[in-house]
Structure 1
Amino acid sequence: MRPHTRTAPRLLAATASVCALSVALAGCSGTTKDDAKDDAKSAAQDTEADPDAPLKKGLKLAFLPKQINNPYEKIVDEAGIEAAKEYGGVGKEVGPSDAKASSQVSYINTLVQQRQDAILIAANDPNAVCGPLKQAMKQDIKVVAYDSDTSPDCRQLFINQASSEEIGRSLVQHLAEQIGHKGQIAILSATQNATNQNTWIEFMKDELKKPAYKDMELVKTAYGDDDDQKSFQETQGLLKAYPKLKGIISPTTVGIAAAARYISGSSYKGKIVLNGLGTPNQMRKYVKDDTVEQFSLWDPKKLGYLGSYAAAALASGQITGKEGEKFKAGKLGERTVGKNGEIILGPPTVFDKKNIDDFDF
């Protein structure tokens, strides 16, 4: 997210995500693998990409975040809308006020009726919006997932903020260093169906199986539903239920900020290590008052910017979503489509007292 393109090893160690910026998907239930082969995505990818084609003027892009009031996703979407102006396009943000799995479905249907050229979605659930997204692709509306993916057959591209494996493993590695590789830990996630959160958590659990973490125990994964008050309460509940808890990983910007707020005003301050993904403006005061030593995140502005250019390249025929295709993403330079239509922004930045005042987002 934002200033998150740093290459120092230390930056690679910390990962962020936050969450908070992803869009919900519509259900793929009832479809088979054979059906998927005949869907609009496959048809589109069978066409030839023209890397020399100019970006079309007047493209209409719609950003559909997990929830409209998520501060992280607001940064992503506004950056993508601004990027559209660079190539003569028009962007907008629409979405639900809650992050429930099915809340985005009606918005997708409306965007299809409006004949948007591209829908960019952060998925609350990998399947819940698949049906409407497939209908959009059948009508030649391009679908780009960002931050939190849909099922791969429900979009052409996925803009991933960083390698999912790197994020999950580094969050464990970083927290382990802070607690001396000993003690009970917990995870404070977003919603139970959030694609990005669940992918990161699976890598966290796999990392914890290594001998280096034999003295660490994951006691619980709690869900704050990317709601500030619920995340605050879940933090309180974790600390009361597990008095020997040493650390909490919150890979969501809403969750880590709520957890820090609770810890900062409690007797747990200085006794519990909190790490995860957050934005500098949310977390600055908690770093400066020693509630949090460090956290990480990519640059959300760059994530939105890359998503906007990728959608424009897709809608202009420069790329189709096939592995190996290349396109120019404005000031971010040339980018390459990876396996399963994934485009990775880059490594996240680690924020602490030394550098947090260098960033404003």
Structure 2
Amino acid sequence: MTQTLTRTLPCLMGSAAILAASFAAPAQAAWTGGDDQPTSPLACDASTVAPDAGSYNGGTVTGAQPSDTLRVVDVPKLVGIGYFNATSAGVAEAAAELDGVEATTDGPAQANIDDQITLIDNYITSGVGGILYAANDPVAIAPVLRKALEAGIHVVGYDSDAEPDARQWFVNPAQFNGVAKTLMDELAQQIGADGSFAIVTSTFTTPNQARWIAEMDAYQAKCYPEMEWLETVEAQEDNILSFNQAMTLINKYGEDMDGLVGMTSVATPAAAEAVTQADLCGEVSVMGLATPNAIRPYIKSGCMEDAVLWNPVDMGYAALHVLKAAVDGTLEPGAAEVEAGRLGTLQIINGSEVLLGAPTVFNAENVDDFDF
């Protein structure tokens, strides 16, 4: 279901009132932007239940050849943004401390699944021993990852998963329902249990964001039924488009919108910039997923109270440790935990997911304690 949404293009450095152009883009009304998978909203209070490891449901590598040097390529959704610069730094840190491991990062310039598939296919042909990835599309990327497994290449995902049988393990930065609960609880604290909000996401097919949104929808219905979810719009992983989409929502809903939620590390600071330029700090709350460096100026200015994320350096670090453990045979199907260097012992959930940990809330008290 789509509608026509008019978007305006203000200059990022100019006044929010200066509108340069407008064009049509798809939007949605009743649909939130989540996927159609089953949800499991957590309790409305602080109680949680630790998930079971479950039966292994990942893929199997065939014909892997031992080698003195394990060559690994890290293929994130895109390169050149702070979030994936941080995951790449974590991969490099792990490679430096693991014996016989060489790792490089090579991702597309934009969050384009076709470019990502081409890159992975090229590395299968050139010959690597391991592939790390953060998927732009869980279904579209699966065939080339299965091809890698069949070629004897170990495959581990992080941040954004593929179909489970297309990789061996996936480093889950946080449980989807846990992220959803944290986001909705923080949002409700800011705009009230009957407030209205809109979301700026990357694409409706990006697996982790669609999963978070689906869980947010379920948790909101259960715990904040009076909240009004106005709309969810796409903005790729693009700073200018995220700003434009946030400004469009501001112009469209006016006083009827109490909050803006960014589902990417790009969208959240871009939404804060739009609110700042619109002179609506204190009237429209901004929160979401973001790196502390990106949202620090807006927390310092008072235009944001907080943002939610995990440490992406740790995620990249964990991903390479998990891949090396799979290569060495110290991590096998059926395991309930895995050792990950300085991170210690990480829990395995949902059959083949390595849980990085609970999300962190960055606010005025702790934002200066992080640098990524």
Per the shorter chain, which TM-score range? Answer: 0.7 to 0.9
> Once the two structures are superposed, what CA deviation does each residue of 1:285-315 show, in whole Å capped at 9, x if it has no partner?
1001011011121111111110110011112
Match of 2:342 in 1: 331
How far apart are the structure 2 equivalents of 1:90 and 1:156?
A: 20
**Would the aligned equivalents of 1:109 and 1:132 in 2 still touch at CA under 8 Å?**
yes
- The reply to whether residue 186 of structure 1 matches residue 198 of structure 2 is yes
Q: 2:174 aligns with which of 162, 165, 173?
A: 162
Give 1:42 deviation, angstroms.
4.2
Give, in whole Å, the separation in 1 of the partners of 2:152 and 2:67.
Answer: 15
> Matches of residues 335-354 of structure 1 in structure 2 within 5 Å?
335-354=346-365
Q: Are 1:324 and 1:338, in contact at CA under 8 Å, matched by a contact in 2?
A: no
* Contact 2:59 2:164 (C-alpha < 8 Å) held by counterparts: no
Q: How do 1:78-93 and structure 2 match up within 5 A? A: 78-88=89-99, 89-93=101-105
Q: Tell whether 2:323 aligns with 1:311.
A: yes
Show structure 1 runs of 5+ residues with no match.
1-11, 14-36, 48-54
Corresponding residue for residue 147 of structure 2: 135
For 2:365, give the aligned amino acid: K
* Aligned 1:9-88 pairs, distance under 5 A: 41-42=59-60, 57-88=68-99
Q: 1:226 is matched with which residue: 234, 237, 254?
A: 237
Q: Name the CA distance, whole Å, in 2 between partners of 1:333 and 1:354.
A: 26
Distance in structure 1 (CA, Å) of the matches to 2:216 and 2:338: 33
Q: Residue in 2 aligned with 1:3?
A: none
Contact 1:101 / 1:193 at 8 angstroms: preserved in 2?
no
Match of 1:9 in 2: none
Deviation of 1:338 (Å): 2.6
Cα 1:341–1:303 change in 2 (3 A) is same
SS of the aligned residue for 2:113 comes to coil
* Matched position secondary structure for 1:73: helix
1:108 to 117, 120, 141: 120
Q: Percent identity?
A: 32
Q: 2:246 aligns with which of 221, 230, 235?
A: 235
Alignment match, 2:282: 270
Stretch moving more, 92-101 or 229-238: 92-101
Residues matched between the structures, number: 315
Partner of 1:122: 134
TM-score between both structures, scaled by the size of structure 1:
0.83
Give 2:233's aligned amino acid: A
Q: 1:43 to 1:132 in 2, by over 3 A?
A: closer
Q: Is the 8 A contact 2:263 2:289 kept in 1?
A: yes
What whole-Å deviation, never above 9, does each CA across 1:127-158 have from its counterpart, x for those lacking one? 11111111100011011110010111111111
Q: Which residue of 1 aligns with 2:214?
A: 202
Q: What's 2:30 paired with?
A: none
1:60: how far off? 1.1
Q: How many Å apart are 1:251 and its aligned residue?
A: 2.0
**Could you tell me which residue of structure 2 aligns to residue 248 of structure 1?**
260
Q: Is the 8 A contact 2:75 2:133 kept in 1?
A: yes
Q: Residues 43 and 350 (structure 1 numbering): CA distance in 2 closer, same or farther, change over 3 Å?
A: closer
Report the secondary structure of 1:41's partner residue: coil
- Quick one: distance in 2 between partners of 1:43 and 1:354? 46
Q: Is the 8 A contact 2:138 2:207 kept in 1?
A: yes
Structure 1 stretches of 4+ with a deviation exceeding 4 A read none
Q: Structure 2 regions of 5+ residues with no counterpart?
A: 1-45, 48-56
Q: Which has the higher contact order (CA 8 A, sep 6+)?
A: 1
For the residues of structure 2 that align with 1:183 and 1:325, how far apart are their CA atoms? 41
TM-score (norm 2): 0.80
